[in-house]
């Protein structure tokens, strides 16, 4: 496109023509980011796979023993690993559908002709700007068995309210509720934008045809917002699958190992046990799961679209 005007670029190397100047500038502008990207994202990805094939010696990497896929075999036969997978899946199941449905409900509600839209949006979105530590510390107080606010009110309804974070049954749901409060705002604002870009005339036409609001929801709202809903679901899945901070701070994986998630297991194997090669293998497992989800989602979206 730019090859036509040779005059506009003055090259320091005199005889170099414009195409080369543009190539040079193009690469110069791309290079700083590419340097960081290569060193801190691509290289670790390759090195992680390499490390996963060794009994990695953190103090003397050169003395690491090559063991091929033994780390992976060990991972697949470790009950603690499967326990962490199970805890992670439970968390995903508890959070992802709720986050999407609640986000959609709030978005559709705020999109209606209600007073105080901006205040409502601020309130629902605001927890998203908090750090996980703050969220976890506040909710741990709310859940406290003796003096926590939640059990004061729950105590009116049932005799002996559970001590949430110390309970095998309730620890994970309690963490899930805190997480929903924390991140539903992300889905809410994305779905709100998606809802606002649905043409209003579709609803007017449906009204004239006498369609019920349920029909309008099913036949207009959902199909029109489909790509946003799929996007939000995928992103939530990827985030929930990597849950760490809430569980680490609120329960430290307990009671037992019932809230020890996959990333927490990986963290402990690496930084408490010093088993870097093994932890790298667990990291690769995580990587493959999430790539499979992203790709599956990609084909789902591109395969279903008429466009």
Partner 1 sequence: MSTVGSRLLSERVRSVGVYAALYGAAALFLVPYAYMVSTSLTPEQFTFSNKPYWIPPEITFRWYDAVLAGAPIVQWGFNTFVIAATTTVLVVLLDSMIAFSLTKLDWPGKRIVFTIIVASFMVPVFANMVPLYTIITDFGLINNPLAVILPFSAMPIGVFLFTQFFDDLPDSVIEAAKLDGFSTFQIYYKIVLPLMKPAIAALSLYTFVYTWNQFLWPLIVLQGQQQFTLPVGIVTMQPTQVFQPGAEMAGTFLAVLPLFVVFLILQEHLVNAVQMQGTTG
Applying the rule CB under 8 A, the residues between 263 and 292 that interact with partner 1 are 263, 266-267, 270-271, 276, 279-280, 283-284, 286-287, 290-291
Q: What is the 3-state secondary structure (H, E, C) of 4-27?
A: CCCCCCCCCCCCCCHHHHHHHHHH
For partner 1, give the closer residue by CB, 35 or 168: 35
109 binds partner 1 (CB under 8 A): yes
Give CA–CA dist 249/213, Å, rounded.
44
CB of 18 to partner 1, least distance (A): 10
134 binds partner 1 (CB under 8 A): yes
51 binds partner 1 (CB under 8 A): yes
65 binds partner 1 (CB under 8 A): no
Residue among 17, 68, 73, 126 that touches partner 1 (CB under 8 A): 126
Task: Kindly identify the residues of this chain, within the stretch 156-195, that bind partner 1 according to CB under 8 A.
Answer: 181, 186, 189-194
Count, residues in the chain: 307
For partner 1, give the closer residue by CB, 45 or 93: 45
For partner 1, give the closer residue by CB, 43 or 168: 43
Candidates 81, 48, 98, 140; CA nearest to 264 is 81
Give CA–CA dist 20/26, Å, rounded.
10
232 binds partner 1 (CB under 8 A): yes
144 binds partner 1 (CB under 8 A): yes
Residue among 161, 173, 238, 254 that touches partner 1 (CB under 8 A): 238
Give CA–CA dist 264/242, Å, rounded.
9
CB of 236 to partner 1, least distance (A): 12
C-alpha distance from residue 197 to each of 118, 194, 207, 228 (Å): 18, 5, 18, 11
**Residue pointed to by tokens 């309130």:** 123
C-beta of residue 221 within 8 angstroms of C-beta of residue 195? yes
């Amino acid at each position: 496109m730019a090859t036509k005007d040779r005059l506009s670029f003055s090259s320091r190397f005199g005889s170099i023509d414009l195409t080369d100047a543009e190539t040079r500038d193009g690469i110069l502008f791309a290079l700083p980011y590419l340097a960081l990207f290569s060193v801190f994202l691509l290289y670790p990805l390759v090195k992680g796979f390499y490390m996963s094939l060794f009994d990695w010696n953190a103090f003397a990497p050169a003395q690491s023993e090559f063991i091929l896929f033994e780390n992976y075999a060990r991972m697949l036969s470790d009950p603690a690993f499967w326990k962490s997978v199970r805890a992670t899946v439970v968390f995903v199941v508890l959070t992802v559908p709720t986050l999407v449905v609640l986000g959609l409900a709030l978005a559709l509600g705020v999109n209606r002709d209600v007073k105080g839209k901006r205040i409502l949006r601020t309130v629902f979105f605001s927890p998203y700007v908090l750090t996980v530590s703050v969220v976890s510390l506040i909710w741990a107080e709310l859940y406290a068995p003796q003096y926590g606010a939640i059990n004061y009110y729950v105590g009116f309804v049932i005799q002996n309210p559970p001590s949430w974070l110390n309970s095998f049954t309730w620890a994970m749901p309690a963490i899930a509720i805190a997480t929903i409060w924390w991140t539903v705002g992300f889905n809410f604002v994305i779905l709100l934008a998606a809802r606002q870009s649905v043409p209003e005339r579709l609803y007017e036409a449906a009204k004239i045809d006498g369609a019920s609001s349920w029909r309008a929801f099913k036949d207009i709202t959902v199909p029109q917002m489909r790509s946003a809903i799929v996007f939000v679901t995928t992103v939530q899945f990827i985030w929930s699958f990597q849950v760490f901070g809430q569980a680490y701070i609120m329960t430290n994986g307990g009671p037992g190992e019932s809230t020890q998630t996959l990333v927490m297991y990986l963290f402990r194997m690496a930084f408490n046990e010093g088993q870097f090669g093994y932890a790298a293998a667990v990291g690769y497992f995580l990587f493959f799961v999430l790539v499979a989800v992203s790709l599956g989602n990609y084909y789902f979206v591109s395969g279903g679209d008429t466009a």
